[in-house]
Structure 1
Amino acid sequence: MVGYSELVERARALAGSGQRRILGIAGAPAAGKGFVARRVVRELGGAAVLVPMDGFHLANGQLRRLGRADRKGAPDTFDAAGYVALLRRIRECGPGTVYAPEFHREIEESYAGAIAVDPDVPLVITEGNYLLLDSPPWSAVRELLDEAWFLAPDDDVRVRRLIDRHIGYGRTPEEAEEWVHRSDERNAAIISASRDRADLVVAGDPE
């Protein structure tokens, strides 16, 4: 089993390469992407910054306009082209600071310009569900990543975490179960099919 020490060392090697690198962490909902990414960033200190894909959720008003509010989290409920454009700016590493949006789950909306990526930060870690999809516009993401990890914990554990997460943000247990099995797990099947595009598959939760 891959442990945190190995993940941190892989990330540290990317950060020490002498030029801007981007590490992507993909996986199904509640696979632990954000937790792993934040831990690696913390271990690397000022050498890394986290830019999650979730900042590119379409606003709830737009989802209602498009008739997609009842399946928020599906691939077409994100501004994928905007995410790709941001990654390209980050990869170019110009002289100025690049600002990225940040998703706030407690209000289910994103704040623009909430994350600063300074030009002297050598490693940018991005995490999200759809980093490895091979359908456009998502397919452009993989070529912008110097390394990609896919997290694959036990599915029963992951689904339980996902239901608990929805309950924690205000859904009833019944509503949480319905949403997970109708929406999140449909997305999980799409995501799991992309795991072969990763450089490293992390089975189980890292130790």
Structure 2
Amino acid sequence: MIKMAVDPVIQSLNGLDKTTQMLRDRILMLLERQQSCQQNKRILIALAGVPGSGKSTVGNALLRELPLYNVKDVCVLPMDGFHHTKEALMAFDDPALAFQKRGAPFTFDAEAFFKLVQTIKETPVTRPGEKAVTFLAPDFDHAVGDPVPDAIHVSSAARIVIVEGNYTLLNEDPWNKIAALVDDRWFVDVTPDVARERLAKRHIQAGIEKTYEAAVARAEDNDLPNGALIRSKLIRPDVRILN
């Protein structure tokens, strides 16, 4: 793991450009240090955050920024595709609770996610002229409410993989094994009030709930407690972003 100094809290409200530039500079520094060591290892970054924090917004802005600095071999591996399927949830001891709490840590196949991250970390970066291999990962289809197998492709030519998801810095087994593999740890946070509003709108737009009141109730019953759990069991990040 490449060691870097811990940065101060970054206040990104109305300052996404500044946050993106700071994260870009961290990646450029990671690449520079790795090249100076003549390593052929892939850089992994954990991008964690509470539900509704805007971590995907931060990540997407960074992906638009990096090509401007000739950093194009970057991939994102999201955690969402590792939701247990509806069929799998029906086999739980308490299926009703599993569906009610879908999105909580126990409703993901965390071990499968960790194993894929471990494989990606241990596989050397494919050099120019060598044949690349493709790592396959599921994505999550919100329209049908289930994962889509092999929808995400991560090339072994990628020098940087951003491992994105709510629990990528959670200090619970097996999630904490992911944090031990990465070279930099980023955490995006937001106040519960802002998260509640964002999540309620998201639930309505996704068709999960039909009324604002029901959407707020869902956020308060599931998403906000998950956020509180993440904060209480957070592995110390290198960068903390308040969004």
- Structure 1 contact 12–44 (Cα < 8 Å) conserved: no
**Which residue is 1:27 aligned to?**
49
Return the letter of the residue paired with 1:107.
V
- Superposition map of 1:11-22 within 5 A: 11-16=27-32, 17-18=34-35, 19-22=41-44
1:56 touches 1:80 (CA, 8 Å); kept in 2? yes
When structure 1 is superposed on structure 2, of 15-24 and 181-190 the one drifting more is 15-24
Whether the aligned pair in 1 keeps the contact of 2:52 and 2:199 (CA below 8 Å) is: yes
Tell me, yes or no, if structure 1 residue 85 matches structure 2 residue 107: no
User: Over residues 86-123 of structure 1, what are the superposed CA-to-partner deviations in whole Å (9 max), with x where a residue is unaligned?
Assistant: 00111012552211111122222111111111111100
Residue in 1 that maps onto 2:215:
176
Question: Retained in 2: the 8 A contact 1:74–1:187?
Answer: yes
Asked if residue 75 in structure 1 is aligned to residue 101 in structure 2, the reply is no
Residue 20 (structure 2) pairs with residue 8 (structure 1): no
Q: Secondary structure at the match of 1:197?
A: coil
Runs in 1 of length 4+ with deviation above 3 angstroms?
none
User: Which of the two has higher C-alpha Rg?
Assistant: 2
Match of 2:79 among 34, 44, 53: 53
Q: Deviations over 1:114-163 (max 9, x none)?
A: 11111111000111111112221112111011111111123322221111
TM-score by length of 1: 0.92
Equivalent residues of 1:104, 1:110 under 8 A apart:
yes
Is 1:120 aligned with 2:157? Answer: yes
- Aligned ranges 1:39-50 → 2 under 5 Å: 39-45=61-67, 46-50=72-76
For 1:44 and 1:13, the matched residues in 2 are separated by 13
Mapped contact 2:170–2:235 kept (Cα < 8 A):
no
Cα distance in structure 2, aligned partners of 1:11 and 1:40: 10
Offset of residue 182 of structure 1: 0.7
TM-score (norm: length of structure 2): 0.79
Does the Cα contact within 8 Å between 1:47 and 1:122 map onto a contact in 2?
A: yes
Aligned letter for 1:174? E
CA deviations on 1:10-57 (whole Å, 9 max, x unpaired) are: 123334534311111111101111111122122224221111011100
Tell me which amino acid in the other structure corresponds to 2:77: V
- Equivalent residue number for residue 6 of structure 2: none
Aligned residues: 204
- Map 1:147-158 → 2, pairs under 5 A: 147-158=184-195
Letter in 2 for 1:29: P
